[in-house]
């Protein structure tokens, strides 16, 4: 992974970056049956944004995504997954970029690369926000978790990128659940149903949910110890092979 | 959709293209329980490749994918879906591009954009190859369907792109099946099982397959007419709402 690329150098002059391509990271946080999203606020502006950045000409795309996330938020060792490329011809945000840079005391030259059209490659992750400590970078006043139903208006097409990431998270939940690592070692059907309900944003029927989650073949039931009262407790499960 | 962009103009000089970004199309063909893949052979070379191309600076990414596919293969009105971005820092194929262009009688200048590093955005489709009539473009000697187990060595990282597309097709089959439109209006469980087996490349157990495909909720059974002998015929299904 390419390290120590100077952000000021990126932004003040035309650096050795891959032209036309940016990365945006949608970091969902789950804990205690709450779903949140990580947003930055650009310095001296009212502009909220997903953490994003650019790719060095000598850097793998996947390494760039990890570096960008770490530089913008301080978060490391996150499992990021590509989910979509945003490629509208209207993705040219020169006036917004001008204002963002003015908030940092920088005036962009007329041919600055930030004024060009970009396609943006979206990456997403779902992590336990109670265990993460994000911090703003030197371009931002804040880097904080927001409830999904209290997301402010975002710059560029970032509201649309967030919405597409949420759709992907919801439709991929069955296959990505084990990797997200959001449940304790052992858990009840009730606990896993709460997680689904929080992420899907809707109540589920217990019997249907139980049938469906068991049919995925990812859970194994732990045998109850024969201690009398324990027979009244719900069954406890863990992920197969964990 | 941007039309009539001159391919020669793209390739002989530095045109108004989005820098650093290419598109590659993986077109799978299914018919009569065979799965094939559409490949081009570059003129006067032994180089086989997926149909690919570039994005105009004033063109939406999704429009560019359709235009590139049509220009390279003649295929129109195909439902293309993004599946992955290939972003290795080693995606710089200057010598191969030189040889491809030499086959077309073109010598690339040292600063030609084809010699740069590109990320490539992969799109895939699954169509009925018996109803498609692909034709080579002016860069190619041929544009033909190949059996999946007889794919030649491809240029660039195109074998890897094909493999990733195949994995995506297989894992998305349950949710994309209806849209692919590859079955007659009504069909038996046997017919749909053959389609799955062909695409997954493996035999499936009849009882397990029947249970799984019915549980998806995409099929409805058509009531048998009471004509005596018909009761020995298998049940016939159609897609819900079709």
Assess if residue A2 is contained within a domain.
no
Query: Under DSSP, is residue B19 helix (H, G, I), strand (E, B) or coil?
Result: strand
A77: CATH? 3.90.79.10
B145-167 mean pLDDT: 97
- Flag if A87 and B60 touch (Cβ within 8 Å): yes
pLDDT (tens place) for every residue of chain A, 242 residues total: 334 445 665 555 555 899 999 999 999 999 999 999 999 999 999 999 999 999 999 999 999 999 999 999 999 999 999 999 999 999 999 999 999 999 988 899 888 889 999 999 999 999 999 999 999 999 999 999 999 999 999 999 999 999 999 999 999 999 999 888 899 999 999 999 999 999 999 999 999 999 999 988 899 999 876 666 656 788 999 999 87
B200 and B222, same structural domain? yes
Task: Inform me whether the pLDDT recorded for B74 exceeds 50.
Answer: yes
% of chain B with per-residue pLDDT over 90: 79
Instruction: Tell me: pLDDT of B113 over 90.
Output: no
Mean pLDDT of all residues in chain B? Answer: 91
Last residue of a domain, one of A128, A153, A176: A176
Residues of B whose CB is below 8 A from A59: 89
Residue B183 belongs to a domain:
no
> Residue B238 pLDDT > 80, yes or no?
yes
**Among A64, A82, A85, whose Cβ lies nearest the Cβ of B61?**
A85
Residue B203 shares a structural domain with residue B109: no
Contacts of A2 (CB under 8 A, 6+ apart): A56, A58, A59, A63, A64, A67
Residue A1 lies in a domain: no
What's the pLDDT score for residue B223?
82
- Indicate whether B182 belongs to any domain: no
Residue A69, C-beta contacts closer than 8 angstroms, at least 6 positions apart: A25, A27, A51, A75, A78, A80, A123
pLDDT higher at B111 or A146: A146
Which ipTM did the prediction report?
0.89
Task: Write the residue in A19, A59, A175 that is nearest to B89 by C-beta.
Answer: A59
* Cα dihedral A95→A112→B17→B159 (10° resolution): -110
What's the maximum distance between 2 C-alpha atoms anywhere in chain B?
A: 77
Spell out which residues of chain B touch residue A119, defining contact as CB-CB under 8 Å.
Answer: 18, 21, 55, 61, 121
Cα A59 to chain centroid, rounded: 21
Closest approach of B163 to chain A, Cα-based (Å): 17
Nearest CA in chain A to B62: A87
Q: For residue A215, what is the nearest residue in chain B, using CA coordinates? A: B212
What's the mean pLDDT in B64-79?
Answer: 96
CA A16 to chain B, closest CA, distance in angstroms equals: 12
Amino acid A3: pLDDT: 40
For A187-223, b/e burial (b = at least 16 CB within 10 A) is bebeebbbbbebbeeeeeeeeebeeebeeeebbeeee
A207 and A154 within one domain? no
Are residue A31 and residue A132 in the same domain, yes or no?
A: yes
Cβ separation of B119 and A62 shorter than 8 Å? no
Whether the pLDDT of residue B132 is over 90: the answer is yes
Which pLDDT score is estimated for A1? 35
Same domain for A196 and A171?
no
Tally the domains of chain B. Answer: 2
Among A35, A74, A56, which residue's Cα sits nearest to residue A162?
A35
What confidence score (pLDDT) does residue B145 get? 98
Give, in degrees to the nearest 5, the angle at Cα A25 between A21 and A27.
Answer: 175
Contact by Cβ (8 Å): B143, B38: yes
Size of interface A-B (CB pairs under 8 A): 59
Instruction: Please indicate whether, in this complex, the C-beta atoms of A60 and B89 are within 8 angstroms of each other.
Output: yes
Q: Does B85 sit within 8 Å of A61, measured CB to CB?
A: yes
Residue B210 covered by a domain = yes
Give the per-residue pLDDT at A112. Answer: 87
Q: How far is A117 from chain B (nearest CA, A)?
A: 8
For the stretch B215-231, pLDDT in tens is 888 999 998 766 666 56
Q: Nearest residue of B to residue A57 by CA position?
A: B89
Residue A170 lies in a domain: yes
Which of A58, A88, A215 is closest, CB to CB, to B60? A88
Instruction: Determine the pLDDT at residue B87.
Output: 98
Quick one: pLDDT at residue B231? 64
Same domain for B52 and B113?
Answer: yes
Q: Which of A57, A175, A215 sits opposite B117 (nearest CB)?
A: A57
Q: Look up the domain containing B36 and give its range.
A: 7-177
């Amino acid at each position: 992974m390419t390290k120590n690329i100077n952000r000021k150098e990126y932004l003040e002059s035309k650096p050795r970056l891959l032209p036309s391509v940016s990365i945006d990271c949608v970091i969902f946080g789950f804990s205690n049956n709450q779903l949140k999203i990580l947003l930055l606020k650009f310095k001296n502006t009212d502009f909220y944004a997903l953490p994003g950045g650019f790719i060095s000409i000598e850097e793998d795309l996947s390494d760039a995504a990890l570096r960008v996330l770490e530089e913008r938020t301080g978060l490391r060792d996150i499992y990021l997954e590509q989910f979509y490329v945003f490629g509208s011809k209207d993705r040219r945000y020169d006036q917004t970029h001008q204002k963002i840079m003015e908030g940092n005391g920088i005036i962009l030259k007329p041919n600055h690369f930030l004024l060009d059209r970009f396609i943006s490659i979206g990456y997403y992750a779902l992590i336990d926000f109670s265990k993460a400590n994000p911090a703003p970078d030197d371009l931002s006043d804040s880097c904080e978790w927001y409830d999904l139903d209290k997301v402010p208006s975002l710059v560029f097409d970032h509201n649309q990128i967030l919405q597409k990431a949420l759709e992907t998270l919801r439709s991929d939940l069955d296959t990505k659940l084990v990797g997200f690592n959001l449940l304790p070692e052992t858990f009840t059907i009730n606990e896993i149903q709460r997680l689904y309900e929080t992420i899907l944003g809707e109540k589920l029927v217990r019997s249907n949910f139980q049938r469906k989650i068991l049919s995925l073949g990812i859970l194994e039931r732990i045998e109850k110890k024969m201690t009398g009262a324990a027979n009244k407790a719900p069954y406890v499960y863990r992920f197969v092979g964990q």
